[in-house]
Structure 1
């Protein structure tokens, strides 16, 4: 009889324990879901529900390669945008509970819409699936993608006929490009390599492996000190210009209420990074010190006029002609000059 009572008590305690664990995890999940859209700012504290805090000995936030017990949004651990974490909870009963979560961190100041006016347009070869776009003086350097069609070309703004062309092997998918002094640097999409050319002749000088952390090559620019690359994520990778296989630092990009993933073609101009977002008709103005998006240019109308109903003919190409921005897109027939207002 006593043995049966003990078994019954143990079963009851087990059920209570399971019930408590479920309540804690459900409560934490509801809290995380409610905060995911609104997000946090740096310095904010995670105000976890009482069902969790009153029944725990400790709470740790794990990022995989690092962890913290500080429930504040500390830039030492969190980045702008989405942060994939695991809550590790040690209960008062000595149990350990794990729960995955996404913690979004946004900027404190809304992005400003940057007004502009189209003041000129120039021809662009609609056969070119443009991936990289940079202008120096009146000369355009353009990297075009697609296997079997990839190339680096050089032409005069106002004429879409190349003066010099460097064709890529059929297995290469070219991506972003930029100029560093007398050289042109070019990324590839999934070939895991980059190329360096003589700027004047487009003769290939050398190639380099992409850093391991960069899964795919997308956009590329130069800030006067480092190369800056994108890989289709929210990250900007600053690369050593003398050794582009080395990542100097990485920053994440975020806005006031938006996680900006799929950063694509880049341009650096007067202390700011400008970035296309793949499949969005916008260009972001980014503070390179912290990844904060401080402004946005909306090119919805231009995209509608040029995509011809093809969803892949996206806005993708940023350069500067003096203080005016030049923009174009994949297989677009024109390059547009926009003056900020």
Structure 2
């Protein structure tokens, strides 16, 4: 009889424990879902529901290779944008519960809407599928994509005839490029390699494997110390110029209310990174130290005027001619010179 009573009590306790665990996880899921769109900012505290905290001995957040019991959004653990984490809850009755969650972290200050004035426009060969775009004075270096049509070219602003052409093998899809001293570094889309050329002759000097973390090559620029690459995600990858296969650091990009992924063609100018966003007629101004988007240019009108009704002909080309910005796009017939206000 006593054994039956003890067995019955154990079953009741187990049922209560299961119910408490289920309520804790449901409550945590509801909380996470409610916060996902609104997001957090660095320094915010995660105020978890009482259903969780009242029954938890300890709560920590796991990032896979690291874990913290500090329920504050600390940049030591969190990056801007979406952070895939696991809540690890040790209950007061000795059980361990895990729940996956996405914690979005946004920039504290809203990005400014930046204005500009169009000063001039120049002809551009509309057969060129622009992936990388550079300027040194009136000399343009351009990396054009598509298999069978990829090339690195050099021409004078205002002319549509290249003064120098480096054709790529038919299986290569060229992407972003950057100038470092007398060299041009160029990414490829899915070939997992990059090339190094002599700037004056476009002679290929060497090639290098892309870092494993970079799934695809998209944009590339140089900040005076590191090459900075994009791969279509929210990330900026800082690469060792002497060994571009090595990632020095990774910075995630976000604005005040959204994460920006599909970062594409890049340009570094006066301490900021300017980035195209694939399929959006905007150029972002990004603080490279934090990944915060501090400003945004809207080029909707000139995109409509130049994409010839083809949505694939996106805005994708940023360079600087002195203090003025040059912008163009894939298969666009024009390059625009704009003064930033």
Q: TM-score, normalised by structure 1?
A: 0.97
Q: Partners in 2 of 1:315 and 1:13 — Cα distance? A: 63
2:113 counterpart residue number: 113
CA distance in 1, matches of 2:329, 2:137: 20
Please give the alpha-carbon distance, in whole angstroms, between the structure 1 residues aligned to 2:19 and 2:303: 54
Match of 1:192 in 2: 192
Cα–Cα, structure 1 residues 9 and 308, in superposed 2: closer, same or farther, change >3 Å?
farther
1:146-295 matched pairs, under 5 angstroms: 146-295=146-295
Distance 1:146 1:98 in 2: 45
Q: Which runs of 5+ in 1 are unaligned?
A: none
Q: Secondary structure at the match of 2:57?
A: strand
Query: Residues 131-172 of structure 1, C-alpha deviation per residue, up to 9 Å, x if partnerless?
Result: 100011111111111111111111111111111111111111
The secondary structure found in structure 1 opposite 2:290 is coil
Separation (CA, whole Å) in 2 of partners of 1:303 and 1:12: 67
Distance 1:311 1:6 in 2: 71
Runs of 4+ off more than 3 Å? 1-11
- 3-state SS, counterpart of residue 303 of structure 1: helix
Whole-Å separation in 2 of the counterparts to 1:76 and 1:93:
31
Between Structure 1 and Structure 2, how many residues are aligned?
Answer: 341
Higher alpha-carbon deviation: 241-250 or 199-208? 241-250
Distance apart, 1:244 and its partner CA: 1.1
Rounded Cα–Cα distance in structure 2 between residues aligned with 1:200 and 1:323: 24
Distance 1:158 1:313 in 2: 21
- Residue 21, structure 1, aligned to residue 21, structure 2: yes
What's the offset of the Cα at 1:3? 4.9
Structure 2 unpaired stretches of 5+: none
For residues 282 and 15 of structure 1, the distance between their equivalents in structure 2, rounded to whole angstroms, comes to: 55
Provide Cα deviations, 1:154-193, integer angstroms capped at 9, x if missing partner.
Answer: 1111111111111111111110001111111100111111
Distance, in Å, in 2 between the alignment partners of 1:4 and 1:191 is: 69
Tell me the residue number matched to 2:43: 43
Question: Could you tell me how far apart the structure 2 residues matched to 1:15 and 1:151 are?
Answer: 68
The yes-or-no answer on 1:34 pairing with 2:28 is no
What is residue 84 of structure 2 aligned with on the other side? 84
Matched, 1:325 2:322: no
Deviation at residue 2 of structure 1 after TM alignment: 4.9
Specify the SS of the correspondent of 2:285. strand
Residue of structure 2 in register with 1:143 after alignment: 143
Q: Distance in 2 between matches of 1:212 and 1:132?
A: 22
Q: Deviations over 1:73-112 (max 9, x none)?
A: 1110001111110101111111111111111111111101
3-state SS of the aligned residue for 2:19? helix
SS in 1 for 2:74: coil
Q: Secondary structure of 1:128's partner?
A: coil
Quote how far apart the aligned CAs of 1:280 are: 1.2
Say what the alpha-carbon RMSD is for the aligned residues.
1.3
> In structure 2, what is the equivalent of residue 299 of structure 1?
299
User: What is the rounded CA distance, in whole Å, between the counterparts of 2:247 and 2:192 in structure 1?
Assistant: 15
Deviations 1:243-272 (A, max 9, x none): 111222221111111101111110001111
Give, in whole Å, the separation in 1 of the partners of 2:63 and 2:126: 45
> Paired residue for 2:57?
57
Cα offset, 1:10, TM superposition: 3.2
Give, in whole Å, the separation in 2 of the partners of 1:301 and 1:30: 42
TM-score (norm 2): 0.97
Q: 1 CA distance for matches of 2:35 and 2:304?
A: 35
